[in-house]
Amino acid sequence: GIQVEQSPPDLILQEGANSTLRCNFSDSVNNLQWFHQNPWGQLINLFYIPSGTKQNGRLSATTVATERYSLLYISSSQTTDSGVYFCAGEGLYNNNDMRFGAGTRLTVKP
Amino acid sequence: AAGVIQSPRHLIKEKRETATLKCYPIPRHDTVYWYQQGPGQDPQFLISFYEKMQSDKGSIPDRFSAQQFSDYHSELNMSSLELGDSALYFCASTRTGGFEAFFGQGTRLTVV
């Protein structure tokens, strides 16, 4: 399966700050998704974004498929944004094999 | 809207026992994935099924087996449980061919 690298591994912000999380893939991917894992362990879908840009409130994501990376932007962060953010994708030629990155642990302080 | 249902939510087993985890995908989803997430780790891909056939295999131990049934629900069978099998086990479902995957709430397995 593909290798997924996320950066930074940890991020501490003050409430109101903006941040950018990055995800690099070892190969071309299908079905690229961003998730937020809340303190109860639930994986919440943020974006399904194999290419292009999407926005949802204070969050937006951009995937540049030809360069094998995706970015998640969080603006005006709130304490409730804290948690672990994962990206995951499937290799273009290897479906049904969705692999996760190691995650970015975000802590937003009041 | 219907979501992915996993049962049980919590399970406590002793070493060397067996466990069966169940996953009910979203209706009309034909693909199921299983993941294992240890404390502080990212979800590790175990196995996937498409149309009731094994599709891909990740780091699934030989002590584990899984299958997808005619109604598309899937079961993960775990035998000779070890302390290291304690983890959160997720199931996800999707429609194959470029669609968003959705996760269940997970089964937290504790082996004592």
- A35-72 pLDDT per residue, tens: 999 988 999 999 999 999 999 999 999 999 999 999 99
Beta-carbon separation of A1 and B58 below 8 A: yes
Q: Is the pLDDT of residue B83 over 70?
A: yes
Q: Is the pLDDT of residue B35 over 70?
A: yes
Beta-carbon separation of A86 and B48 below 8 A: no
- The number of C-beta contacts closer than 8 angstroms across A and B is 66
How many angstroms away from the CA of A104 is the closest CA of chain B?
10
Confidence of residue A94 (pLDDT cuts 50, 70, 90): low
Strands (E), chain A: 4-7, 10-14, 19-25, 29-37, 43-48, 52-56, 59-64, 69-74, 83-91, 94-100, 104-109
For B99, counting Cβ atoms within 10 Å of its Cβ (0-12 exposed, 13-18 middle, 19+ buried), the class is: middle
How many angstroms away from the CA of A64 is the closest CA of chain B?
17
CA angle A76–A77–A78, rounded 5-degree value? 120
